[in-house]
Amino acid sequence: MSGGQGSGGNVLAALCSFFVPGLGQLLQGRLLAALFQFVLAGALWFVWMGWIVHLWSIIDAARFEPKKR
């Protein structure tokens, strides 16, 4: 997907992360960030703190800007 912050790809990624933390990062091709956010959100939901990572996942996917080549 091309485009920077606010692009259609980032909006779709943010929506994916809304439903599953890390899914937007996976859609953007950022496997380690996706895995980290998914596992961290899942672990923290047990102590009622997972919503913080869930929100971070949505915001991170929406603000992602690929490196210029």
Range list of H helices, the chain: 8-19, 23-27, 31-45, 50-63
Encoded tokens for 13: 């990624």
- Report in angstroms the alpha-carbon separations of 56 from 60, 61, 64, 68: 6, 9, 12, 24
Q: From 21, 11, 33, select the one nearest 1 (Cα to Cα).
A: 11
Residue 6 pLDDT > 60 = no
Which pLDDT score is estimated for 3?
A: 53
What pTM was estimated for this model as a whole?
A: 0.65
Residue 23 pLDDT > 70 = yes
